[in-house]
Amino acid sequence: MKVRWLLSAATAMAAFVGGATAICAEDGESYRISDVAIAAAQKDDAKGGKDGCDSCGADKSDACGCESSCKGSCGDICEPWRLFPSVGQTTITGWAAAGATVNADSPGSRYNGPVSFNDRDEVQVNQLYAVIEREAYSSCDTIGFGGRIDVLFGTDYIFTQAVGLETTRSGAPKWNNRSHYGLALPQAYAEFTYNDLGVKVGHFYTIIGHEVVTAPDNFFYSHAYTMQYGEPFTHTGVLATYDYSDSLQVVAGVHNGWDNFDAVTERAGFIGGAFWTNCDESVSLAATLTSGHEQGGVAANGYSDRTMYSLVGSFQVSDNLQYIIQHDNGWQDDFAANGGARVEWYGLNQYLIYTINECWAAGARFEWFRDDDGARVAGVRAGNPAATGGWEGSFYEVTAGLNWTPCSNIIVRPEVRWDWFNGVGNPYDGNTKQEQFTAALDAIILF
């Protein structure tokens, strides 16, 4: 759960991609990277730091007020209450996320154009999400074993489907009937750790980009075009994470394509990157890349070369203000839908997150996403008029919102969003307009 936005983006990414990697501490104990990330956010308070909460202690016990509203007077991270008890190293956790979006145009189709996740002008139960996980703890010079399975039910299922898993190799649904609600299995992997090395084998979320599928780990209810149309969601393969130092983490792996589990033709692709954080964690940088043969080419097997990279920087401007910037660029050769020519997409995202107090944070996002050849942006669901695009041009959106966390188990996210398009065609209001205004509100309950 991301309950404190002062955590840097790369630190959070490191916790995600290497969450079960063991570190040999000076006292001989081992910790997960995610534990280290949380400990880093807590270290000032634990040492009687700048917040002056000497009484809280490193364990964030009741002395810190974790049982009171707003996570206590110190504003520290408190573990949410969990419905299911841990069994050894195995945990069962999850959340329910639901919200409503109001479109100022009240489109007859009830679709918000190419805007994704909250793509309907109505109430949506986006995610009923469960995680079964065994952490791969290991002592120094021993091998740890673990794994994770994620199950998602709700309207967000369609964005995480993988060919050959939720769908057949031809793309037809296996167990979903093309309604607005369905079931997806976005992660199912085994994990091994040895000292500073961690290896995932199976089906897992991508390491690319800033925004993610899991609702509690995003500031905003709606998502950027970059996340939906410019980046992969999942991979199936092998991913290795190596903690080169306290500040630098290196990731590399092999996968069989964007959002593929068992495709008609298997093609190996590369994914890798590096995550760096400075000593006081006020600056973090992430650089990731994937390249390989992907569907959409003019060749007889329907594949061609596709490459994309992502750069994310996070800067703690002050104690309360965080600035995040992201640049993506992708291209694919011999694209069939474009007459065999090369297609390209790129963009720039910027985020400002201001922590008002322990309960409230305010955020703004500005995005420019360029679909240079009309090859990427389109509505995902059948029946969405935007699914008829190729929209060749530039998409812009400005989103402003709040996060209210009255306790560690609840997040409420109101937002307003303005989208506009500069290019060929009309992506919004049933393909009749080039701009759109929406207001949305969702709530997340962790269990």
User: How confident is the model over 273-302, as a mean pLDDT?
Assistant: 92
Does the pLDDT at position 23 exceed 70?
Answer: no
Q: Is residue 82 part of a domain?
A: yes
State the pLDDT confidence band at 38, using cuts at 50, 70 and 90.
very low
**The domain containing residue 299 runs over which residues?**
9-446
Instruction: Please give the structure tokens belonging to residue 5.
Output: 């936005």
Residue 311 has a CB neighbour count (10 Å cut-off) of 16
The pLDDT score that the predictor gives to residue 62 is 39
Domain containing residue 383: CATH number: 2.40.160.10
Instruction: Return the closest-CA partner of residue 301 out of 361, 257, 356.
Output: 257
The pLDDT score that the predictor gives to residue 26 is 35
Does the pLDDT at position 22 exceed 50?
Answer: no
Q: Is residue 417 part of a domain?
A: yes
Q: Poorest-confidence range of 28-37, 103-112, 247-256, 314-323?
A: 28-37
Number of separate domains in the chain: 1
State the pLDDT confidence band at 382, using cuts at 50, 70 and 90.
confident
Q: Is residue 3 part of a domain?
A: no
The pLDDT score that the predictor gives to residue 77 is 58
Q: Is residue 19 part of a domain?
A: yes
The pLDDT score that the predictor gives to residue 345 is 98
- In angstroms, the CA 348 to CA 326 distance is 6
The overall average pLDDT reported for the chain is 85
State the pLDDT confidence band at 27, using cuts at 50, 70 and 90.
very low
Q: Is residue 80 part of a domain?
A: yes
- In angstroms, the CA 286 to CA 21 distance is 18
pLDDT in tens, 105-134: 999 999 999 999 999 999 999 999 999 999
The pLDDT score that the predictor gives to residue 303 is 87
Does the pLDDT at position 203 exceed 50?
Answer: yes
State the pLDDT confidence band at 70, using cuts at 50, 70 and 90.
low
Does the pLDDT at position 323 exceed 90?
Answer: yes
pLDDT in tens, 40-68: 333 333 333 333 333 333 444 333 334 44
Q: Poorest-confidence range of 111-120, 357-366, 383-392?
A: 383-392
User: How confident is the model over 266-270, as a mean pLDDT?
Assistant: 90
Q: Poorest-confidence range of 53-62, 151-160, 285-294?
A: 53-62
The pLDDT score that the predictor gives to residue 61 is 37
Does the pLDDT at position 422 exceed 90?
Answer: yes
State the pLDDT confidence band at 297, using cuts at 50, 70 and 90.
confident
The pLDDT score that the predictor gives to residue 106 is 96
Does the pLDDT at position 290 exceed 60?
Answer: yes
User: How confident is the model over 280-289, as a mean pLDDT?
Assistant: 97
State the pLDDT confidence band at 416, using cuts at 50, 70 and 90.
very high
The pLDDT score that the predictor gives to residue 300 is 67
Q: Is residue 262 part of a domain?
A: yes
Does the pLDDT at position 284 exceed 90?
Answer: yes
The pLDDT score that the predictor gives to residue 140 is 78
CB neighbour list of residue 180: distance below 8 Å, 6 or more residues apart: 120, 124, 155, 381
- In angstroms, the CA 13 to CA 321 distance is 19
pLDDT in tens, 92-110: 999 999 999 999 999 999 9
3-state secondary structure the chain: CCCCCCCCHHHHHHHHHCCCCEEECCCCCEEEHHHHHHHHHHHHHHCCCCCCCCCCCCCCCHHHCCCCHHHCCCCCCCCCCCCCCCECCEEEEEEEEEEEEEECCCCCCCECCCCCCCCECCEEEEEEEEEEEECCCCCCCCEEEEEEEEEEEEHHHHHHCCECCCECCCCCECCCCCCCCEEEEEEEEEEEEECCEEEEEEEEECCCCCCCCCHHHCCCCCCCHHHHHHCCCEEEEEEEEEECCCCEEEEEEEECCCCECCCCCCCCEEEEEEEEECCCCCEEEEEEEEEEEEECECCCCCEEEEEEEEEEEEEECCCCEEEEEEEEEEEEEEEHHHCCEEEEEEEEEEEEEEECCCCEEEEEEEEEEEECCCCCCCCCCCCCHHHHCCCCEEEEEEEEEEEEEEECCEEEEEEEEEEEEEECCCCECCCCECEEEEEEEEEEEEC
State the pLDDT confidence band at 362, using cuts at 50, 70 and 90.
very high
